[in-house]
Amino acid sequence: MSGNTIGKIFCLTTFGESHGEATGGVIDGCPAGLDIDYSFIQKELDRRKPGQSDIVTVRKEPDKVEFISGIFKGKTLGTPIGFIIKNTNQHTEDYEYLKNVFRPSHADYTYQKKYGIRDYRGGGRASARETVARVVAGAVAKLVLNKYKISINGYVSQIGDIKLNKNYKELDLSDIENNIVRCPDQSVANKMIDMLRKVKSENDSIGGIVSCVVKGVAPGLGEPVFDKLNADLAKAMLSINTAKGFDYGSGFENIKLKGSEQNDIFMAKNGKVSTITNYSGGIQGGISNGEDIYFRVAFKPVATILKKQKTVDIHGDNVEFEPKGRHDICVLPRAVPVVEAMAAIVLLDHLLRNKTCRL
Amino acid sequence: MSGNTIGKIFCLTTFGESHGEATGGVIDGCPAGLDIDYSFIQKELDRRKPGQSDIVTVRKEPDKVEFISGIFKGKTLGTPIGFIIKNTNQHTEDYEYLKNVFRPSHADYTYQKKYGIRDYRGGGRASARETVARVVAGAVAKLVLNKYKISINGYVSQIGDIKLNKNYKELDLSDIENNIVRCPDQSVANKMIDMLRKVKSENDSIGGIVSCVVKGVAPGLGEPVFDKLNADLAKAMLSINTAKGFDYGSGFENIKLKGSEQNDIFMAKNGKVSTITNYSGGIQGGISNGEDIYFRVAFKPVATILKKQKTVDIHGDNVEFEPKGRHDICVLPRAVPVVEAMAAIVLLDHLLRNKTCRL
Amino acid sequence: MSGNTIGKIFCLTTFGESHGEATGGVIDGCPAGLDIDYSFIQKELDRRKPGQSDIVTVRKEPDKVEFISGIFKGKTLGTPIGFIIKNTNQHTEDYEYLKNVFRPSHADYTYQKKYGIRDYRGGGRASARETVARVVAGAVAKLVLNKYKISINGYVSQIGDIKLNKNYKELDLSDIENNIVRCPDQSVANKMIDMLRKVKSENDSIGGIVSCVVKGVAPGLGEPVFDKLNADLAKAMLSINTAKGFDYGSGFENIKLKGSEQNDIFMAKNGKVSTITNYSGGIQGGISNGEDIYFRVAFKPVATILKKQKTVDIHGDNVEFEPKGRHDICVLPRAVPVVEAMAAIVLLDHLLRNKTCRL
Amino acid sequence: MSGNTIGKIFCLTTFGESHGEATGGVIDGCPAGLDIDYSFIQKELDRRKPGQSDIVTVRKEPDKVEFISGIFKGKTLGTPIGFIIKNTNQHTEDYEYLKNVFRPSHADYTYQKKYGIRDYRGGGRASARETVARVVAGAVAKLVLNKYKISINGYVSQIGDIKLNKNYKELDLSDIENNIVRCPDQSVANKMIDMLRKVKSENDSIGGIVSCVVKGVAPGLGEPVFDKLNADLAKAMLSINTAKGFDYGSGFENIKLKGSEQNDIFMAKNGKVSTITNYSGGIQGGISNGEDIYFRVAFKPVATILKKQKTVDIHGDNVEFEPKGRHDICVLPRAVPVVEAMAAIVLLDHLLRNKTCRL
């Protein structure tokens, strides 16, 4: 009810402020009998963690997950999987200077207005630090989805005005991890990296788009009418910090195409039904149709920029403010595993929900 | 759990297939003591109903809502408000020819694969007919929101490649209902209407964008971290038939702008805090900040086009198919009240949720 | 959230005031492909309906259910099943004399205090009329449970101080429907009927106990730790009007027995594990163990008695009050199908939930 | 969905196996701005903890709670409160001998059948160790309820056949903590303690009843029709390990009383409405009426007894089994704070829910 849980059967609840002792989560509804591949989970965390390259924040966090429950001798028990990731960085900076100021385009003001109190050490609960718990749950979900041959691949398809003008089918998704920006086209990646270094030198920040492709989903996932698969994906993606938009299939970009141009014609071949085109993005009437699911998530620039800005303080006075510390100039490279994690959580939840719909 | 309910406190459950006896809903959690303005609710339904102009389907449905419970002597009781809208049109066409065919880009195939059975009379549960119940609930929600001085205005901002290139602040939103396409700029509206008539003459269909502005929302609505106000709006919008995308504030369109260009600077004036710009779209950290909330929803063209198309039937054979009857060529004009209704439902739900967050 | 829905996968939402146009419900999450046996459903409603004998209210209601959605050609679609039962009796009595008075031990006072408004025509939403929708949903649930060979039998085991002093294993449950009080032991039934006629002649009312036995439940239903099968049964039973208590297995009655006396010893025989005794009532650690589930529900006397009683009115004045009309003197015979219906809803919900717990 | 969460607004999710690293929980929906009284919370834990007297298990656990999130400078933030209690005792005994055996009247068999796997070190997730997290959340809830002058007092009213034959109004509830059995009548307490010592000497176990009184609840808490206050209390109580029954108000014990004898007559005095008697137990139509709420919970004897018993092993063979270690012979004294905690959670949840029901 207070918004810290997502999912109906495979459920993730997260807790933790960015500069508290730890960030954690509880995964409830993970099927029993799953082999937990700890090194895979850590690898996913490493894709999200700070300090992995010069285009993301140089802040260091080991981001080691400690599982507290729900796993016995390497297998899930069917009981809730509690876990924490210690915030090792929480005492290294003095955040008292943030105590009374509302940083522009941050959540300081809205939390204060909502709750009458806030943890002013960094973003508190509104910090992107919270997404570390999502990546843990997403990694567990991926381990289950693997059993169903479902794969999820996100990549950076736009940063600022540098855009990857290719359909995902023209790309080799196995190249995504081959560069620090996580764009599978190396030449575009190079331009993105150059731009990010330039933005960094200007003490500014920049946004972009993460695209994501899900392969191997059988027909039938998604619930009419409100919990359409696309609706739940939209919610999951917009719940990520700084996300500003979501579209799937033909999306915003193909609005000029008419019905005759974007209807996906069914074709039967060797007993298998598929569609010739896939403007539907693998989802029709809110339910997967067996084709690839693909969608995009728009992210705004990081609000923290190392410049002096005008703002307002807790007393309602106009003040000036300049942030300290080390910050991302662009969340996109680190957002890729978070987008994938949220997709994994939604897909597994719907996969489990779908087990109950027929006699 | 099966996806037919939206909301946590103000909850709407809908039921009904398009060609069954009736479409209906249950509103649970509407505050007690609300005066029900029946003529306002009917007016909202009339904005959605078919047959209102030559650019939407000419099919006729009176769309009269019958309230069954939860209202006594014109006031809400706090108990569930059950209602139905009879489907008067359900016997006028013979749908047997749809029995075995999967219409392209419709939900026939996915429902059949999910449930092993479907109501083939029209779209059944996947029909946009279901949105009539959303408009009823949205109208009730608007009656409550009126008490809080919250207004919601949707309008058509793009059809095909005809785009309204103005910010909502440059528009007079009271002009929205002055033309049949629901675009508040009359000259753009004329172009849209011309295009729709042309698409109609071609037996084709076309999509577009609905923009929506919410004014009067106090700071504090929205729940971290998964039930962010923007996340719940995204889900609600993507749950509407044929919706393909959602963005809010800077969205997909302002990705080239840097942090220094799109941070919203707070300013205090006469004891009131506001932001100079509003790239945040009225939501920061998932919580309303008191500025206008604005967002866009992309809709694909209607899948039904009065042309012969190839497809597959229930036996897995390749066949040809040509629809009969009267259909919308573009959902946009009729989608405006649906977008507003879903926004109203989400906002009222969060307004009520917000009553519990402080001691 | 407002309490009008029960279940997580197989969900029932009810609506309707006792003297409004209709009482209704929405069943969401019923598996697709179920053959609806309308005559069975009506038979269940007939077991609950008023006027069936001289020991229950002589008020007449046909209690015919009209299904609005979710069923096509006699089979469930997997979509929500909306239904209504018209309240044919709603205009036959004048309820204005109840407008300002709070009837003793009724819900008039609490509804007025909670909502600031109430439907004073009879019990409104608090009326036992609401249980008619539960019986419809329970009958649908039973149709599914039949496929799993699960049977549910309730019976009256106590009325006032007349008690059926036999374990359910000593009874022939097929005798339950052979008398109007629904007690499977005819000699005890006769005593109960005599007592009820005496209570009726005194214009008084009386309570009692319904016992219920569920056979055929496989091991594994029930979710640790809060949604234990026994916990969800307890909630479902206590949600029935005038229910005051629930126990299962050894319950309140065997508290004097020590652990050595009531531990249920497992025994393997021909590859099948069972317990020699069944003090556990078929549930261990909140999960079914394959043995019979049995429980009891205590009901207080009906609050309406045809006597003058002191009470308070809406203005806070002490007044006298005497009810009019025809009322049950004892809910027990008609509560039996309601207890069974609630048990069926809980069991089916857990049966469906259990489909998702293993890899 | 998997049953590890209770509440709709004030929600507790628990996690942890008895012999894992820790037991923990997440409280979501606690109002912001609450002063956390750590010593009060610890005091509540101390009432539940093992080793507090010779009539409970002599096993020692410090049961110190560590809060991880949601509290800043001693005040709640409105964000989720994550916490853990380390299981210091988890390596002191060898549980391998339990690996293949299903202990009688324990949850070993049902967990194995449900999940195909179980943590056999003690009761795992089914252990009463899980209730330590409930006591933490209950203590936090009590801190909020204190602000509303709501008090909750549980006490042991029966052990075996030794029964406290007094109404709660005849007792001095401040005496509850004055003896180790938590019975406010010292002479009955003495008999209970004698009995417990005798049962201990016999290596047997015994059950009983906890009674609980809630004072200070304003009218209006509870939601019709399924989430009646009594229904949610019943569920919460039956979710406690070894609980077998629940009743409130007139309950099972007053079934012989007729309507004329147990209707609670309203009376107005000095502008305040109350009832002369309180057979309703403070709840009418599922909603609190302002009178004291009182209820009883029946607990069966602890299943573990230090005797050799027959049982079945994981291979389906008949075997003999004798437990090792130190165990409670009776949960009642330690169940009192758990009953109170669950009552506090339910009441606070409904108190918060009730904030949204009126315009």
pLDDT tens figures, D159-172: 999 999 999 999 99
CA atoms within 13 A on the CB side of C294: 21
Contacts of C358 in chain D (CB under 8 A): 115-116
**Cβ contacts of A263 within 8 Å, gap of 6 or more:** A279, B104, B105, B303, B305, B309
Q: How confident is the model at residue A163 (pLDDT cuts 50, 70, 90)?
A: very high
Residues pairing with D144 in the sheet: none
Question: Is pLDDT at C86 greater than 70 in this prediction?
Answer: yes
**Which one of A241, A247, A255, A349 would you mutate to disrupt binding with B, by most B Cβ within 10 Å of its Cβ?**
A255
The answer to whether C90 contacts chain D (CB < 8 Å) is no
What would the two tokens of residue D15 be?
A: 């996690």
CB D59 within 8 A of CB D331: no
Neighbours of chain C (3+ CB pairs under 8 A): A, B, D
Out of 3.90.1310.10, 3.60.150.10, 3.40.50.10190, 3.90.1150.10, which CATH number does the structure's domain C5-354 have? 3.60.150.10
The answer to whether A322 contacts chain D (CB < 8 Å) is no
Interface contact flag, B5 C5, Cβ < 8 Å: yes
Question: Rounded to a whole number, what is the distance in angstroms from the first to the last CA of chain C?
Answer: 31
Characterize the bridge pairing of strands A318-321 and D243-248: unpaired
pLDDT value of residue A126 = 96
Angstrom distances, CA of residue D22 to CA of A66, B253, D75, D87, D230: 11, 48, 24, 5, 32
SS (H, E, C) C122-150: CCHHHCHHHHHHHHHHHHHHHHHHHHCCC
Interface contact flag, C21 B68, Cβ < 8 Å: yes
Tell the residue number behind the tokens 């096509």, with chain if given: C72
Q: Which residue of chain A comes nearest to B133, CA vs CA?
A: A225
Residue type, D51: G
The answer to whether A75 contacts chain C (CB < 8 Å) is no
The answer to whether B74 contacts chain C (CB < 8 Å) is no
Contacts of B239 in chain A (CB under 8 A): 225-228, 231, 286
CB B120 within 8 A of CB B99: yes
Contacts of A104 in chain B (CB under 8 A): 263-266, 275
Percent of chain B surpassing pLDDT 90: 90
Q: How confident is the model at residue D90 (pLDDT cuts 50, 70, 90)?
A: low
Interface contact flag, C82 B11, Cβ < 8 Å: no
CA atoms within 13 A on the CB side of D72: 23
Instruction: Name which of C32, A105, A150 is nearest B116 in CA terms.
Output: C32
Question: Is pLDDT at D329 greater than 70 in this prediction?
Answer: yes
Give φ, ψ of D196 to 5 degrees.
Answer: -65, -40
**Which one of B79, B108, B227 would you mutate to disrupt binding with C, by most C Cβ within 10 Å of its Cβ?**
B79
Question: Is pLDDT at B116 greater than 70 in this prediction?
Answer: yes
- Under 8 Å CB pairs connecting chains A and D tally to 165
Q: How confident is the model at residue A91 (pLDDT cuts 50, 70, 90)?
A: low
pLDDT value of residue C55 = 85
Neighbours of D215 (CB within 10 A): 16
Q: Considering chain C, what is the average pLDDT of its residues?
A: 95
Percent of chain D surpassing pLDDT 90: 90
Question: Rounded to a whole number, what is the distance in angstroms from the first to the last CA of chain D?
Answer: 31
Question: Is pLDDT at D32 greater than 80 in this prediction?
Answer: yes
Contacts of A355 in chain C (CB under 8 A): 355-356
Question: Is pLDDT at C91 greater than 60 in this prediction?
Answer: no
The answer to whether A69 contacts chain D (CB < 8 Å) is yes
Question: Is pLDDT at B205 greater than 90 in this prediction?
Answer: yes
> What ipTM was predicted for this assembly?
0.98
Interface contact flag, D356 B359, Cβ < 8 Å: no
Chain D nearest CA to C66, separation (Å): 22
Residue among D230, D275, D301 whose CB faces C259 most closely: D301
pLDDT value of residue A51 = 86
CB C100 within 8 A of CB C169: no
The answer to whether D4 contacts chain A (CB < 8 Å) is yes
Interfacial C residues in 105-124 facing B (CB < 8 Å): 114-119, 124
Identify which of B88-102, C180-194, D325-339 has the greatest average pLDDT: C180-194
**Which one of A223, A356, A358 would you mutate to disrupt binding with C, by most C Cβ within 10 Å of its Cβ?**
A356
Contacts of A281 in chain B (CB under 8 A): 244
Q: Which region among A45-49, A72-76, D57-61, D173-177 has the lowest average model confidence (pLDDT)?
A: D57-61
d(CA B112, CA B98): 13
Secondary structure (3-state) at D287 = strand
Question: Is pLDDT at B92 greater than 60 in this prediction?
Answer: no
Angstrom distances, CA of residue B120 to CA of A280, A283, B325: 21, 19, 15
Tell the residue number behind the tokens 């997909």, with chain if given: B252
Neighbours of B323 (CB within 10 A): 18
pLDDT value of residue D60 = 79
Q: Considering chain B, what is the average pLDDT of its residues?
A: 95
Q: How confident is the model at residue A46 (pLDDT cuts 50, 70, 90)?
A: very high
d(CA A145, CA D138): 37
Interface contact flag, C258 D109, Cβ < 8 Å: no
**Cβ contacts of D139 within 8 Å, gap of 6 or more:** D40, D41, D44, D45, D341, D344
Interfacial C residues in 132-171 facing D (CB < 8 Å): 158, 160-161
The answer to whether C345 contacts chain D (CB < 8 Å) is no
pLDDT value of residue A148 = 98
Angle in degrees, 0-180, between the axes of helices C38-48 and C131-147, rounded to the nearest 10: 140
Average pLDDT, integer, range B179-185:
97
Average pLDDT, integer, range B128-143:
97
**Cβ contacts of C99 within 8 Å, gap of 6 or more:** C120, C314
Interface contact flag, D70 A15, Cβ < 8 Å: yes
Interface contact flag, D356 B33, Cβ < 8 Å: no
pLDDT value of residue D93 = 60
pLDDT tens figures, B6-33: 999 999 999 999 999 999 999 999 999 9
Residues pairing with B246 in the sheet: A246, B297
Interfacial B residues in 216-245 facing A (CB < 8 Å): 219-220, 222-228, 230-239, 241, 243-245
Tell the residue number behind the tokens 């239903």, with chain if given: C221
Interface contact flag, B147 D359, Cβ < 8 Å: yes
Q: How confident is the model at residue A122 (pLDDT cuts 50, 70, 90)?
A: confident
Chain D nearest CA to A147, separation (Å): 18
* Type and span of the H or E element at A108: helix A108-115
Interface contact flag, D109 C8, Cβ < 8 Å: no
pLDDT tens figures, C268-326: 999 899 999 999 999 999 999 999 999 999 999 999 999 999 999 999 999 999 988 77
**Cβ contacts of D248 within 8 Å, gap of 6 or more:** C244, C245, D230, D233, D234, D281, D282, D283, D293, D294, D295, D296
pLDDT tens figures, A254-263: 999 999 999 9
pLDDT value of residue C23 = 97
What would the two tokens of residue A348 be?
A: 């597994």
Domain ranges across chain D: 5-354
Interface contact flag, A84 D68, Cβ < 8 Å: yes
What would the two tokens of residue D294 be?
A: 């009182």
Rg (CA), chain A: 21
Question: Is pLDDT at C68 greater than 60 in this prediction?
Answer: yes
Average pLDDT, integer, range B244-271:
96
d(CA B227, CA D11): 15
Average pLDDT, integer, range D259-267:
96
Interface contact flag, B79 C17, Cβ < 8 Å: yes
pLDDT value of residue B175 = 97
pLDDT tens figures, C237-250: 999 999 999 999 99
Residue among D255, D284, D358 whose CB faces C105 most closely: D284
Q: Where are the alpha helices (DSSP H) in A202-305?
A: 229-238, 259-262
Question: Is pLDDT at C92 greater than 80 in this prediction?
Answer: no
Neighbours of chain A (3+ CB pairs under 8 A): B, C, D
The answer to whether D357 contacts chain B (CB < 8 Å) is yes
Q: How confident is the model at residue C89 (pLDDT cuts 50, 70, 90)?
A: low
pLDDT value of residue A93 = 60
Secondary structure (3-state) at A300 = coil
Interface contact flag, B124 C77, Cβ < 8 Å: yes
Neighbours of chain D (3+ CB pairs under 8 A): A, B, C
Average pLDDT, integer, range A59-72:
93
Contacts of B80 in chain C (CB under 8 A): 2, 4, 13-16
pLDDT value of residue A55 = 85
pLDDT value of residue B91 = 58
Buried b vs exposed e over B277-309: b needs ≥16 C-beta within 10 Å?
ebbbbbbbbbbbbbbbbbbbbbbbbbbbbbeeb
pLDDT tens figures, D161-207: 999 999 999 999 999 999 999 999 999 999 999 999 999 999 999 99
Tell the residue number behind the tokens 């290596």, with chain if given: D203
